[in-house]
Structures are given as C-alpha cells and as structure tokens.
Amino acid sequence: MRTPLIAGNWKLNKTVAEAQQLVSDLLPGLESISGVEKLLCPPFTALMAVAELLKGKDIGLGGQNLYWEASGAYTGEISPTMLAEFCQYVIIGHSERRAYFGETDQTVNQKVGAALAHNLTPVVCVGETLEEKEAERAAEVVSRQVKDGLSGTKISSGDDLVVAYEPVWAIGTGRAATPDDAVVIIRNVIRPTLAGLFGEGVSQGVRVLYGGSVKPGNAADFFSLEDVDGALIGGASLNANDFVAIAQAAA
C-alpha cells in the first residue's frame, strides 16, 4: 500500500510573513487529516520560517529546485546540503524549469543523484506539452523523461522517489487531464519504465502523483484511482481551504 502524498508547490509566491500566515491557516485542517502525507514546498527564502512552524508537526517540507554541487562558485544556486538543513523533499524538473530555465533530462538526472546523496527525496516532474500530446507523442516523451532523468541513479526502495505526472498543458490552465488519461500514462508508461530501471518491486513502491489544475472539485476523481498516489498542486496550494479540501479528498 502506498500512502497518498499531497504536495503544494508555492512557486514564486509568498514573502516570509505571507508564508507564515498561510501555514497557520493550513495547520488546523492539515493536522486533522490522517492516512495522507502532506508536503509544502515554499520558495527558498521562506523555508527557514516555515520549518520553524512545522516543527513537531507531521507535515513535510520541500524545496522547489536545487543545484548538484555541494558548494562553490555557483552564484545564485542552492546546494543539496543547504536544502537538507530544512527539507525532506525537493521538486526536480518541473516543466516551468524545463521551459524557462533550460533544464533537461540530463540536468534532472544530476539533480536527482545529488538529492539522493543528501537524503532528500526527489519529486521528479514529467509530462508532455500540448504539441507533443496532439502529435500523439505523450507516451514516448514521458518514457524518455523517466528513463533519462533517472537512469543510473541509486534508487533502492520505492520510498526513495516520487514521480509527478504533470501534462504541461494542464498546469495552471484550469484544464486538467481526465483521470482516465492520467491513468493510461501512469500505468502503461511511468510504472513500467520505473520497473525497467529499478525492478518491479521498487517500481510498485514509488508514489506517482498527478499534477495539473487539481482543485477541490476534481481531486476525488483522481484519488479514487489506484494508480494515482496523490497530487502535486500549484495554484490551489496557495489557498488554505482548497489545499486542505484536496488533502481530505485523498484521505
């Protein structure tokens, strides 16, 4: 049995004071939900403040990115060592990073290796663009992203990794994939590719999330499917009531 994971990606939002306010709004609702793992991914500048508020709470903290070197002359970057001071998780290869910051399957692979070496669980994002979907290349693209992003990395247990299937055309657009479409990619592409890389046992333990316009109104449709182990949530994670309602739908 895989415990559902509900992760909030706050992206480029929230000052420290705003982050603290959002966490205090979230805590009563999130703490009352059991059987679901919850994860908040604020911007780097708010990690320390949020970590303080989450002390002793059963809610994880994650970064939205990292660089693979431990230290050195890499202006503007954040190392795995720095993240590991506060976080248990890190989002890697989000489509916005691939689209705007030149991330590739190769950089994803290096980042995953660095995260694992520092006991950070990577949440690796994969998903096809609208153009690729319309050209019926979704399966090929997602399979390549999983293979090239993860090959050679040291995943020895399903707990070491989370994959988020996020069709790019569904992110922030209000147009979610249908649960059936998501299942086709997760069941027929992502899990078999993971099995090819790490073996069937490990692949069955990896949590595969759906992401892309998840809201309180559609969350239960995704979570009722055994292939969907939770969600990575952007827009709706900035609203405490919505994020709690989505986490409740996963319980």
Residues contributing to the site for ligand PEP (CB under 6 A)? 9, 166, 171-172, 211-214, 232-236
Nearer to ligand PEP, 49 or 233 (CB): 233
Nearer to ligand PEP, 193 or 213 (CB): 213
Rounded to 5°, the CA angle 101-71-148 comes to 45
- CB-CB neighbours of 152 under 10 Å: 9
> In this complex, which beta carbon is closest to ligand PEP, that of residue 9 or of residue 65?
9
Taking the CB of residue 77, how many other CB atoms lie within 10 A of it?
14
Helix (H, G, I), strand (E, B) or coil at 71: coil
From the CB of 128, what's the least distance to ligand PEP, in Å?
Answer: 14
Assess contact for 228 and 210: CB atoms under 8 A.
yes
Cα separations in angstroms, 157 against 195, 200, 202, 233:
12, 11, 5, 25
Distances from the Cα of 135 to the Cα of 104, 119, 128, angstroms: 21, 38, 10
In whole angstroms, the minimum distance from the beta carbon of 166 to ligand PEP comes to: 5
* 118 tagged catalytic: no
140 has catalytic annotation: no
Q: How far is the CB of 201 from ligand PEP (least distance, A)?
A: 28
Give whichever of 107 and 213 is closer to ligand PEP, judged by the CB atom: 213
Cα distance between residue 59 and residue 51, in whole Å: 10
Catalytic residue among 94, 96, 128, 132: 94
List the catalytic residue out of 118, 131, 166, 226. Answer: 166
The DSSP code for 69 is S
Residues 133/165, Cβ–Cβ less than 8 Å? no
The residue with its CB nearest to ligand PEP is 234
CB of 189 to ligand PEP, least distance (A): 19
250 alpha-carbon distance from chain centroid: 16
CB of 24 to ligand PEP, least distance (A): 22
- Backbone conformation region of residue 238, classed left if phi is above 0, alpha if psi is from -120 to 50, else beta: alpha
Return the number of the residue (195 or 238) whose C-beta is nearest ligand PEP: 238
**Residues assigned a catalytic role:** 94, 166
